[in-house]
């Protein structure tokens, strides 16, 4: 399986079109976030990821997100989430992860995402002062 896309979002909704095909409505996609209070503060961004399972794979996996201080794989860990999921082979699924991050000052963090032991997909997020 592989991650097709991953973004921080404000809203994420599923619907079907008139032909019964699935559609995803994403709004408020962002790579920066204004803190709601002075630092230190806690922010809770939502990460949405779209995952594809090739037809010849099993359709079971674990979606892992580790929010780190930087892009390096050994950068300090701020939060972690791992959740098993199932998707029909040949189809797509989505994963939503909300991380609570306590930050002392404005900074950039990186969501490191992967399925099982696959390659890491990095999504940066800059948190700025209110």
CATH of the domain at 100: 2.60.40.2550
Give me the domain span that covers residue 110.
2-128
For residue 81, what pLDDT is reported? 97
Question: What confidence score (pLDDT) does residue 55 get?
Answer: 97
Mean pLDDT by 10 residues, the chain (130 residues): 96 93 93 95 97 96 98 97 97 95 97 97 97
Residue 28: CA count within 13 A, CB half-sphere: 11
Report pLDDT for 13.
93
| Helix H or strand E segment including 109 | strand 107-115
Domains in the chain, number? 1
**DSSP 8-class letter at 76:** P
Which pTM does this prediction carry?
Answer: 0.92
């Amino acid at each position: 399986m592989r991650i097709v896309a991953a973004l921080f979002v404000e809203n994420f909704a599923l619907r079907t079109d008139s032909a019964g095909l699935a559609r995803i409505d994403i709004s408020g996609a962002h790579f920066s976030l204004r803190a709601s209070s002075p630092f230190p503060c806690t922010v809770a961004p939502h990460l949405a990821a779209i995952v594809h399972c090739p037809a010849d794979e099993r359709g079971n996996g674990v979606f892992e997100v580790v929010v780190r201080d930087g892009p390096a794989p050994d950068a300090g860990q701020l939060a972690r989430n791992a959740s098993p999921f199932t998707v029909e082979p040949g189809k797509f699924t989505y994963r939503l992860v909300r991380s609570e991050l306590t930050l002392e000052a404005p900074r950039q963090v990186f969501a490191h995402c992967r399925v099982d032991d696959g390659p890491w997909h990095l999504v940066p997020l800059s948190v700025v002062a209110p």
